[in-house]
Each structure stands twice: as C-alpha cells, then as structure tokens.
C-alpha cells in the first residue's frame, strides 16, 4: 500500500514506475516506505485524538467520608469522561451504621447470654435440694430476715410498717415462716400481683385471706393476671413500702440480683423510696461470685441466706 494505493505486480505508480515483482528491490523499497508513512500517520492521529479527549476529574463526593469510595467514571455527551457520584454511598453508610449498632449491642447481648447460662445453672442446682433440706433452710433464712427487719423497722410504733414479700413458687425459698411472724407483729403485708412482663404491683392482704389462699395471685404465684380485678384489694403505693423481701434466681456479695427474666422487679424497685429496705433472699447455693449487670439492674440493700447476712459495702 502506498499513499492509499494497493500495489500489485504490474501496477504503475506515480512517475510511471511499474511494479513488476513484489520481491524486486523497488517493490520492497515502496512497501517499506508505505509502512513507515502509515505508522507515522497512526501516531499523529492518536496524538490528535488524545488532545481532543480531555478527562475532567471532579472532587470526590465522599470526601467527608474519608474517601471511602471515589466513584466511577462515565462518558459525558461530548465524549469526555467525568467522575460520577457513587451510588454505593447509602449502602456504605448503612453498613457502617449497622456495624456501629452491632458493636454497641454486642455487650448487651453478651450480658443477656451470660445471665441465661447462669440462671439455668443455678436453678438446676436449686432443684436438686431435697424437700426436707429446703424446708429447714427456708426457716433458717426467714429467721435471719426477721432479725434484720426487727433491727430496721419499728413494729411497736403507732404506724405498723408495710412490708412486701412473696409466696414461694415451686423450689423457691419458702417464706411462710416469715409471713406468719410479720402478721404476728402487726405488720401490713403486701404480695406481688404480676400483670405481665415488666408489670407488677403489690396488694395488701390480711392474714385470713392469705391463709385461705383464696386469691389467684396468692394461690398461683408467678402467673400473669393482666386484666383481672380483685374486689376489696388495691395496689399499694411503692413509696409507702418500708421494706421489701425480694426473691431471685441468684445473688452475689455485691448485692446484684439475677431474676427469672421477666423484668418485673427490675421495673418495680426503682419506684420505692430511698429509705426502703430491699432485702434479697435465697439459698446459699444461689450465691454467685459475680452477676453480670445491666444498667437497669437494682442492687439489694442486703442479701440473706440460711447461713449469712450480706450487707454490701
């Protein structure tokens, strides 16, 4: 090819020269010259094309995100390349926020898992206590609790103290001995009525009603009674309580309590007045070295077992 003309044997070129044979010196010279001219022409065209196509680079739209994503180029109408705003930005931000939320919640989830494992272990241990041992240990813990209440409350004053306690569920430390002694001292005694998770109120009950166990929340402690009315009974004001005896799955020596998981006492205890004695009660087998605590967990004023009275420092 020479100046756009394809050369064949017998072709005449400008000036009258005739290509007789492609192997002849003249043919080779013409071919080499044509190749050189074609190469230079291609370089010139490439340089001109590069000058005409300018790449416009815009500032990164995610500069405030520390360059998390620089975007990707696209062709403009005039053929130039510009940086387009990344469509991944919302997903990047959502992923970052989700990661932060997971980090923030990981501690809470870990505490919940630890509590569940500890609760299962302690309650399993409590179930292994023989019935006769459970009865004698319960009386010992009640006697200690009564001594504690005698030291903190005035049972001989004009106003009888108002004490909240509980009726034991299966395998729980039995408070019958304590309740009998409270009535004998003239105390007003209130019992929990659970309306649902995080919903509990205490109702004052006289001795005859308690002994008859004629009220559902006395006969079936731990059950939920969301809408049931109890004629003749009203919920006591939490701030009127002088003392409250609190059951639990486990306690530690710092006064932290592990409940059964419904959160009823966690929701109720912040409502009692500052001077109210909050006493946890349990078997010695329910004492743990350390109970993982959430921000809503309430520390006991004292923890009583059949053999110990633990007052946290």
In a domain, 171, yes or no: yes
In a domain, 118, yes or no: yes
Give the separation between CA 58 and CA 76, rounded to whole angstroms: 13
The residues near 135 (Cβ < 8 Å, ≥ 6 apart) are 174
Give the separation between CA 291 and CA 117, rounded to whole angstroms: 11
What confidence score (pLDDT) does residue 58 get?
A: 47
In a domain, 75, yes or no: no
In a domain, 52, yes or no: yes
pTM over 0.75: no
Place of tokens 């070129």: 13
- Whether the CB-CB separation of 242 and 272 falls below 8 Å is answered with no
254: its two tokens: 């710092």
Give the pairing type, strands 199-204 and 257-258: unpaired
Among 19, 40, 56, which residue terminates a domain?
56
39: its two tokens: 């190469």
What confidence score (pLDDT) does residue 221 get?
A: 80
Question: Do 51 and 139 belong to one domain?
Answer: no
Q: CA distances (Å), 61 to each of 41, 69, 73, 84, 95, in order?
A: 41, 9, 13, 9, 18
Question: Do 153 and 283 belong to one domain?
Answer: yes
Give the separation between CA 49 and CA 294, rounded to whole angstroms: 69
Place of tokens 């053929």: 79
**Which domain covers residue 220, as residue numbers?**
104-310
What confidence score (pLDDT) does residue 296 get?
A: 83
In a domain, 304, yes or no: yes
In a domain, 229, yes or no: yes
Distance from CA of residue 279 to its chain's centroid? Answer: 29
Question: Do 46 and 195 belong to one domain?
Answer: no
- Whether the CB-CB separation of 201 and 235 falls below 8 Å is answered with yes
Place of tokens 């020479």: 2
Domain at 272, CATH number: 3.40.50.10420
Question: Do 182 and 278 belong to one domain?
Answer: yes
* DSSP alpha helix (H) spans, the chain: 25-52, 89-127, 131-152, 176-184, 207-212, 216-219, 264-268
Question: Do 148 and 47 belong to one domain?
Answer: no
What confidence score (pLDDT) does residue 26 get?
A: 42
In a domain, 113, yes or no: yes
Tell me the per-residue pLDDT of 211-220, one tens digit each, with 9 for 90 and over.
998 787 887 7
Which stretches in the chain have pLDDT values below 50?
A: 1-27, 29-30, 34, 36-37, 39, 54-72, 76, 80, 82-87
Domains of the chain: total = 2
- Whether the CB-CB separation of 55 and 80 falls below 8 Å is answered with yes
What confidence score (pLDDT) does residue 96 get?
A: 60
């Amino acid at each position: 090819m020479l100046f756009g003309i394809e050369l064949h044997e017998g072709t005449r070129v400008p000036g009258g020269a005739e290509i007789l044979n492609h192997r002849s010196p003249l043919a080779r010279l013409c071919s080499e010259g044509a190749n050189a001219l074609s190469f230079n022409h291609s370089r010139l065209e490439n340089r001109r094309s590069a000058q005409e196509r300018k790449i416009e680079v815009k500032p990164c739209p995610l500069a405030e995100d520390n360059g998390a994503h620089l975007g990707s180029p696209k062709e403009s109408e005039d053929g130039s390349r510009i940086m387009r705003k990344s469509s991944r930005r919302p997903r990047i931000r959502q992923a970052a926020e989700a990661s932060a939320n997971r980090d923030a919640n990981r501690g809470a989830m870990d505490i919940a898992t630890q509590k569940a494992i500890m609760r299962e272990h302690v309650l399993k241990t409590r179930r292994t206590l023989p019935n006769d041992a459970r009865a004698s240990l319960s009386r010992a813990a009640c006697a200690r609790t009564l001594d504690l209440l005698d030291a903190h409350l005035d049972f001989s004053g004009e106003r009888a103290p108002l004490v909240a306690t509980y009726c034991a569920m299966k395998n729980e430390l039995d408070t019958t001995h304590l309740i009998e002694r409270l009535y004998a001292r003239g105390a007003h005694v209130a019992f929990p009525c659970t309306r649902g998770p995080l919903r509990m109120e205490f109702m004052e009950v006289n001795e005859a009603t308690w002994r008859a166990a004629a009220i559902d929340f006395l006969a079936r402690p731990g059950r939920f009674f969301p809408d049931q009315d109890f004629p003749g009974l009203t919920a006591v004001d939490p701030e009127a309580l002088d003392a409250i005896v609190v059951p639990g799955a486990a306690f530690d020596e710092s006064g932290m309590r592990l409940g059964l998981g419904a959160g009823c006492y966690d929701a109720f205890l912040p409502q009692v007045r500052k001077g109210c004695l909050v006493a946890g009660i349990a078997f010695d087998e329910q004492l743990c070295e350390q109970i993982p605590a959430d921000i809503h967990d309430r520390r006991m004023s004292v923890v009583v077992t059949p053999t110990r009275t633990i007052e946290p420092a």
